[in-house]
Amino acid sequence: MPKHALLSASSSKQWLNCLPSVRLCAEIRDRASPYAQQGTDAHELCEYKVLKALGKSGRDPTADLDYYDAEMENCTEEYCNFVIEQFEEAKKLCKDPLVLVEQRLDFSRWVPDGFGTGDCLIVADDVLHIIDFKYGLGVLVDAEHNPQMMCYALGALDTYDGIYDIHTVKMTIFQPRRDNLSTCTMTKADLLTWADTVLAPTAKLAYEGKGEFKAGDHCTFCKVRATCRKRAEYNLELAKYDFEMPATLEDTEIAAILPKIDSLVSWENDIKEYALQQALSGTKYNGYKVVEGRSNRRYTNADAVASAVIQAGYDPYEKKLLGLTAMTSLLGKQQFEELLGGLIEKPQGKPTLVPDTDKRLAMNTAIDDFKEN
């Protein structure tokens, strides 16, 4: 059995939108990144903490984690607390709910050779709850009709629906470093309808390498995103506006461009990074060369620096108030709120232009204020 499915749940957003890309990506070896390893470390710690909270024995992996720090400790603790809270809620409706951690889920009934690993499942009568831990900071993940979560839910249903009387599927993204707790709830019937009418036929075509290439926000984690011709065509079509001054564009044109700006910037960065790696491997690009980037001076040995400064009669350290996260860790959440709750504020954020689908409330603009007066 392969370690990773060709049509994996985690890449489902990509292959559901750009069907032939999955076969193209399968020919390219995965590249390790510090961000991926950081996520792996956090997931390993989550697994240990949840199992421990459930009374199951296991080895504490902390000493072996390359990226363990106070932030990871706090985030995984919050996740564990959330899982246990949801388990207690399930107990109110079902006398014997089941909690599964890092569970292999098979959804090959709809997707050829389809399987994945769910971070946490709470299986109970009436409600099946899928919880996915995201440690990343870069991309805000929404649970609403999230195909990865829906594939996991299908795998869980295929195994446990006969054991428990499930009617509703609840899917939650827990992304603590982005303060993101996103939940989508749908009926079992709606999920199965989507699986039969959308997922299964699309997966069949993708598995066979058929269908059309399509560019969009699903390109974010595609292995060929830098060299994909369809993505280049998509972004170069937008790039033609670079030759016009913004003031010459109509509001309708600007509105058409806005949804594509992030994609264009992302594509440009991907091209630059790919070209750099190729250049470092020996590829020559006409008009370009590889040079050493700017860097800042730094101490080679912090302890030796401190010792030398102290011996010279100076204090090399500055006294600094702990940040909110570190202070919460020092005091604990309850004492933090008791002592400092009245001394904490959240300033108004900088105005940001976002799509209407964003869940935040719209700010009053200058024209709104004028209308009110």
Task: For residue 362, tell me if it sits in a domain.
Answer: no
Task: For residue 369, tell me if it sits in a domain.
Answer: no
| pLDDT tens digits, one per residue of 202-243 | 999 999 989 899 888 888 888 888 888 888 888 777 666 655
User: Are 107 and 196 in the same domain?
Assistant: yes
User: Are 123 and 239 in the same domain?
Assistant: no
User: Are 108 and 153 in the same domain?
Assistant: yes
CA dist 115 and 155 (Å) reads 8
User: Are 329 and 240 in the same domain?
Assistant: no
Of residues 210 and 268, which shows the higher confidence score?
Answer: 210
User: Are 158 and 108 in the same domain?
Assistant: yes
Task: List the helix and strand counts (H, then E) for the chain.
Answer: 13, 5
User: Are 140 and 273 in the same domain?
Assistant: no
The dihedrals phi and psi of 100, each to the nearest 5 degrees, come to -120, 135
Domain that holds residue 327: 302-335
Task: For residue 341, tell me if it sits in a domain.
Answer: no
CATH at residue 183 = 3.90.320
CA dist 44 and 67 (Å) reads 11
| pLDDT tens digits, one per residue of 324-366 | 877 887 888 889 999 998 999 888 878 888 788 777 788 776 5
User: Are 229 and 82 in the same domain?
Assistant: no
Task: For residue 364, tell me if it sits in a domain.
Answer: no
Mean pLDDT over 262-281 rounds to 82
CA-CA distances (angstroms) from residue 134 to 39, 325, 358, 369?
A: 8, 18, 19, 39
Burial (CB < 10 A; 0-12, 13-18, 19+), residue 31, is exposed
Looking at the structure of the chain, the number of domains it has is 3
CA dist 85 and 97 (Å) reads 13
CA 193-196-201 angle, to 5 degrees, is 140
CA dist 309 and 299 (Å) reads 13
User: Are 106 and 202 in the same domain?
Assistant: yes
User: Are 272 and 187 in the same domain?
Assistant: no
